[in-house]
Every structure is written in structure tokens, then in C-alpha cells.
């Protein structure tokens, strides 16, 4: 029996995928559940497995091409399968992808040809236009009765020069398309950002103190891992920041599944540290390190980027001081953290040089008001001053 191989859906907002590589070619035997191709979608590469055993009789979408979710990619059939069954699947797919026929327009009387427009142009403007290869007949004049003046030609010359700059056009990758869709979803929510400057000097000192003899891991946790653990603790004071809006109701999550923005080639991905509120700092550091390495190698799975209830974007390593993160739908809050910088601060009545950073919480104002954000930032400040609470 001939079986269709169609484009799967990974993630809630996936609309299409791009064929990265066919692992099998036409005529090859395949076994059920055996990987037969790799598809790039929603920022990650995914393996597509064969839905049945047989022979790969037809490949419909070539490497480098994109196809919508549910579109036909290939046909698997028995070696002696009648060609009619295969052609039936191909024809059905072609019919689905064909646009609906439009009714023929009703005949209309031809309208009389427009009268030619008389164009006036000054002699100086005409000479300049002819010298520079500008078709002055297409210009709008700013002089009396619409006469074309020299300044009108100059404006056309500048416009032509600006559009003639060198460069090249490239298609959006699957990752950039996914980011574009997420961004459009994000900006549909009324967003507000509340920020606080926090002294992170004790937290940085604490991290440096976690050396091999005193710390059971191979290396100290990253500052981002400390932010994940601190956020999981702070969210206990403001659980509404982990909610999601569903129609006219709010779903309240019990656990902190924290997404972390990771920069990769051509964009960003957001792997999720699940149940961060139930994990130790050491467990979070090890898991985040593994997820980051897999993200940069393009080996994350779709499941590792789903289910987040709160997102952190630490842009300090990029040298950015102040950052308002966009929401990551359907989440209602996100934390953006800028770089730590030495600044003069008043400590116990005296001026001291301390390392501070701006912590900014972006929220969906339909669900979150200022008060819970204030409680969250208060708790983050407390943890940064007393980082031993992270252990």
C-alpha cells in the first residue's frame, strides 16, 4: 500500500519547514520509524521517520526547498506497488496545493483612452534630466501649473542613487521566519517594562568562591545559571509572572519552567530548564551548559524548547547596559538583564564602587500589574545581596 510522507508539525507556531537533507534517495528501501530526512523548523533540525516500511518511490520536495505543514514530501510503497496508487497520492497533493479557480470577470466596456498630459519643464531642468538619464516625463513638478523645475530633477537623481546601492537579496531562513512569527505574536500583547538597578557585587564574589575544592561541579556556575535559580526562587513571591492567558481565563502554573535565550548563528533559540524550582544550582548549571552546547551545535529538539513559563535574556556578555526583552508567547513575563558595570553607590552612608546591573521585567499588562513585578525584583535584589541562598 502506498503511504504518503508529509511535513510534521513541531511547535505551536510552525507553519513550514525546510528540507536540509534526504538521508535516503529514491529507490532505497526504508523501514518503519527509520529516519529518512532532516527538516529545519522553528530554529532546530528535526529527523523525519518513515511512517511505513517499503521503498522510497518518489521524492516530492528537494533539499533546500520549503513545504507547509501537512504538505506531501515523498511516497513510500512496496517494490511491486502499482504506479497508479503512487500517482493518485501525487495528484491529490497537487490538487490541494492548487489555488481555487476564480470566476471569470464580467465583460466591461472599454474606456476611452486618457488624454495625453501636457508636461511643462524648464530648460535647465530638461538639460539636467537628459544629462543624467532621468525620464522627466514621469516626474511631478513643483513649479507653477505643475512645471518641472531643476530641484525636481535633483530629487529624482538622489532617489535613483539611493536605490542603486550595491548589495544582495537573501531569503529569510527558517529560523528568521520563526523569530518573525514569534515577534508578531509578542507585540499583540500590551507590554510594559519595569526596571531596577541591582548591586550584583556579592553574587559575583560568591560565584568566584565556588572553586573546585568547595564546589562539587567541575567549574563554577555561569552567572546565567545563577539567574535561573534566583528567578525560580523569586517567582515564588510572584507566581502570576508564570501564568498564561487563555481566552477570558488565566492558567496558573505551579512550576518554574525557565527558558533561557541563547544566541546561535542567524538568530536565537530558547531552551527550557524544566522545574527549575525543584533543582539545585549545580543541577541547573549542568543542564544549562548542556542545553547551550546543543543549541549552538543545532542539536536541540522541539521538546527542549516547549513548555516554558518564564524567560530570561542575559545580554550582559554582549556589552548591553539596558534591555527590554520581548515576551515569548504564551508567557506573560520575561526578564532582561544588562551587563554589570562598576558604579559609585552609597553603602552604609558612604560612597563605594560597586558592580550593578539593570534588571528589567517585561509583562503582559492584561495579566500582570506593577505590584507582583515589584515583589519579584525585591526578591531578586535580596538574593543578589545574599547569594548563599542559591545553594
The residue extents of the domains of the chain are: 3-94, 125-160, 190-390
The whole-number pLDDT of residue 101 equals: 59
Nearest C-alpha neighbor of 360 from the set 311, 318, 319, 317: 311
The whole-number pLDDT of residue 114 equals: 58
Q: pLDDT means per 10 residues in the chain (391 residues)?
A: 86 76 91 90 79 90 87 90 84 72 61 65 88 88 87 88 65 72 76 94 92 71 96 96 88 93 87 95 94 89 88 94 89 95 90 95 93 96 96 88
The whole-number pLDDT of residue 249 equals: 86
The whole-number pLDDT of residue 67 equals: 87
Instruction: Determine the distance from the C-alpha atom of residue 380 to the mean position of all C-alpha atoms in its chain, rounded to a whole number.
Output: 27
Burial state string for 251-269 with b = 16 or more CB within 10 A and e = fewer than 16: eebeebbbbbbbebeebeb
* Sheet strands (E) in the chain: 3-6, 16-22, 29-30, 35-41, 44-49, 54-59, 66-68, 72-77, 191-199, 244-246, 249-251, 258-260, 262-264, 267-269, 272-273, 310-314, 333-337, 341-347, 350-364
The whole-number pLDDT of residue 88 equals: 85
The whole-number pLDDT of residue 81 equals: 84
Nearest C-alpha neighbor of 19 from the set 53, 56, 90, 68: 68
The whole-number pLDDT of residue 74 equals: 92
The whole-number pLDDT of residue 297 equals: 86
Going by their DSSP bridges, the two strands 44-49 and 16-22 should be labelled as unpaired
The whole-number pLDDT of residue 369 equals: 92
Placement of cell 544550582 in the chain = 281
Tally of CB atoms within 10 A around 373: 24
C-alpha cell at 133: 538619464
Cβ contact 22:105 at 8 Å: no
Cβ contact 150:124 at 8 Å: yes
Task: Report the CATH number of the 190-390 domain.
Answer: 3.30.559.10
Angle separating helix axes 370-385 and 223-234, nearest 10 degrees: 130
Q: Look at residue 198 and give its three-state secondary structure.
A: strand
The whole-number pLDDT of residue 221 equals: 92
* 313 burial type by CB count under 10 A (0-12 exposed, 13-18 middle, 19+ buried): buried
**Angle at Cα 180 formed by Cα 177 and Cα 186, nearest 5°?**
145
The whole-number pLDDT of residue 352 equals: 93
| CATH architecture assignment, domain 125-160 | Irregular (4.10)
Tally of CB atoms within 10 A around 29: 13
Whole-angstrom distance, CA of residue 291 vs CA of residue 222:
13
| CATH architecture assignment, domain 3-94 | Beta Barrel (2.40)
C-alpha cell at 382: 535580596
Nearest C-alpha neighbor of 18 from the set 53, 63, 57, 55: 63
The whole-number pLDDT of residue 80 equals: 85
The whole-number pLDDT of residue 108 equals: 60
Instruction: Determine the distance from the C-alpha atom of residue 103 to the mean position of all C-alpha atoms in its chain, rounded to a whole number.
Output: 40
The whole-number pLDDT of residue 120 equals: 87
Amino acid at each position: 500500500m502506498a503511504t504518503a510522507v508529509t511535513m510534521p508539525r513541531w511547535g505551536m507556531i510552525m507553519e513550514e519547514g525546510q528540507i536540509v537533507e534526504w538521508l535516503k534517495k529514491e529507490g532505497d528501501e526504508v523501514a518503519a520509524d527509520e529516519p529518512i530526512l532532516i527538516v529545519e523548523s522553528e530554529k532546530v533540525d528535526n529527523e523525519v521517520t518513515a511512517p511505513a516500511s517499503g521503498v522510497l518511490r518518489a521524492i516530492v520536495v528537494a533539499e533546500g526547498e520549503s513545504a507547509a505543514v501537512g504538505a506531501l514530501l515523498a511516497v513510500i510503497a512496496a517494490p511491486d506497488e502499482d504506479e497508479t496508487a503512487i500517482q493518485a497520492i501525487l495528484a491529490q497533493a497537487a490538487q490541494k496545493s492548487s489555488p481555487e479557480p476564480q470566476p471569470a470577470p464580467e465583460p466591461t466596456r472599454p474606456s476611452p483612452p486618457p488624454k495625453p498630459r501636457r508636461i511643462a519643464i524648464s530648460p535647465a531642468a530638461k538639460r539636467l534630466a537628459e544629462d543624467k538619464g532621468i525620464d522627466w516625463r514621469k516626474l511631478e513638478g513643483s513649479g507653477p501649473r505643475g512645471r518641472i523645475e531643476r530641484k525636481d530633477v535633483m530629487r529624482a537623481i538622489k532617489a535613483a542613487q539611493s536605490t542603486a546601492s550595491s548589495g544582495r537579496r537573501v531569503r529569510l531562513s527558517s529560523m528568521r521566519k520563526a523569530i518573525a512569527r514569534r515577534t508578531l505574536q509578542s507585540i499583540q500583547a500590551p507590554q510594559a517594562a519595569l526596571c531596577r538597578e541591582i548591586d550584583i557585587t556579592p553574587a559575583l564574589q560568591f560565584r568566584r568562591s565556588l572553586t573546585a575544592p568547595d564546589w562539587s561541579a567541575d567549574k563554577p556556575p555561569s552567572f546565567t545559571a545563577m539567574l535561573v535559580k534566583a528567578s525560580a526562587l523569586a517567582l515564588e513571591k510572584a507566581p502570576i509572572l508564570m501564568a498564561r492567558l487563555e481566552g477570558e481565563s488565566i492558567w496558573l502554573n505551579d512550576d518554574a519552567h525557565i527558558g533561557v535565550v541563547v544566541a546561535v548563528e542567524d538568530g536565537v533559540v530558547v531552551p527550557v530548564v524544566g522545574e527549575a524550582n525543584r533543582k539545585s544550582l549545580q543541577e541547573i548549571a549542568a543542564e544549562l551548559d548542556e542545553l547551550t552546547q546543543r543549541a549552538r551545535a543545532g542539536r536541540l529538539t522541539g521538546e527542549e524548547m516547549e513548555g516554558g513559563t518564564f524567560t530570561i535574556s542575559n545580554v550582559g556578555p554582549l556589552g548591553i547596559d539596558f534591555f527590554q526583552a520581548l515576551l515569548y508567547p504564551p508567557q506573560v513575563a520575561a526578564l532582561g538583564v544588562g551587563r554589570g558595570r562598576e558604579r559609585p553607590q552609597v553603602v552604609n552612608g558612604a560612597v563605594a564602587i560597586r558592580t550593578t546591573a539593570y534588571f528589567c521585567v517585561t509583562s503582559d499588562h492584561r495579566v500582570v500589574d506593577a505590584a507582583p513585578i515589584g515583589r519579584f525584583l525585591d526578591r531578586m535584589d535580596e538574593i543578589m545581596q545574599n547569594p548563599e541562598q542559591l545553594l
